[in-house]
Amino acid sequence: MACVLCASSDNPTDEDVIPKWLLRAFDVQEGSTTISVAEESGDKHEIKRLKHFQLTLDGGLCKKCNNELLGGLEQVVQPILEPMAVRCEPTILDLPSQRLLAVWAVKTVYLLELASRQRYPGARPVEGYQPSNSEVGWLLAQLEQRPAKPIEPPPRSMVWLACWDCRTSSTVPRASMVHYAPSTAPLPTPGGREVVGQFTTLAVGFTAFQVFTVGYVEAEVQRATVWNPGPPDSIAHAIPLIWPHRLGVGDVAWPPPAFPNDSFDRLANWDRRLRRGGARTTN
């Protein structure tokens, strides 16, 4: 199998999409991670949860991409992300840290979807978003320029970072430490053709990333509009944007007010806003 990043077929390796340091921190047995996969399907908004999801991409990455490029990224991300994700430690995220976490989130949702398709083809009512060639190429180029130059997510992408209370409670007796909820995000174009990107929620422990990405080359060619400016006022204070860095932005104090464990869907569908008009998440 060719490497999903660089297409080389040399030295294939297995990639743990959720890094080992996170699995260890949550005391999850390797290779038997419990994960919930929420899928919005048509107008029914059916949510299917797959448990005991295995999150390895078998033979999907060459040794260089896995160990050097992605391994190098994990090394710099872990000291920032682990205290937040595992212990909900209050953290001031400066702009470089926000950018780094944003790249990590984009990278992880790309690989999660590729691993899901490899391991569970057809198991979900609707598959998640497969990154376009331009997005994968962008990620590879960014990783290759580390650490000489700062890295950033692909053009047009947006990343938010909320806090989700991942602990068990009376209503959620058995919590998952990873919760992956992909949905599609269509962008209108002047020519009437939609360019379809993704809006995906990935909660890892207490950190809940929300990622928008799109095949930015096609989006430019079709002159697609911007997907969505941000979450509605009712929850905007709880979902700070960490990428892109707009004029005048600064540090982000994390955590914002946490989404309770039983309100993951409210986070994932932006308080139901993504189900009505405007930006739709349905296929």
Q: Footprint of Zn ion on this chain (CB under 5 A)?
A: 3, 5-6, 8, 62, 65
| Nearer residue to Zn ion within complex by CB, 69 or 187 | 69
| Nearer residue to Zn ion within complex by CB, 5 or 208 | 5
| Nearer residue to Zn ion within complex by CB, 8 or 283 | 8
Amino acid at 248: G
CB-based contacts of 193-199 (< 8 A; 24+ apart in sequence)? 193/222, 195/219, 195/222, 195/224, 196/129, 197/129, 197/156, 197/227, 198/109, 198/128, 198/129, 199/227, 199/228, 199/274, 199/279, 199/281
Least gap, CB of 2 to Zn ion (angstroms): 8
Left, alpha or beta for 45 (phi > 0: left; psi -120 to 50: alpha)? left
Least gap, CB of 120 to Zn ion (angstroms): 23
Least gap, CB of 60 to Zn ion (angstroms): 9
| Nearer residue to Zn ion within complex by CB, 66 or 207 | 66
Least gap, CB of 7 to Zn ion (angstroms): 7
Q: Which of 118, 122, 98 shows the shortest CA–CA distance to 250?
A: 98
Least gap, CB of 213 to Zn ion (angstroms): 20
| Nearer residue to Zn ion within complex by CB, 64 or 156 | 64
Q: How long, in residues, is the chain?
A: 283
Whether the Cβ atoms of residue 9 and residue 1 lie closer than 8 Å to each other: yes
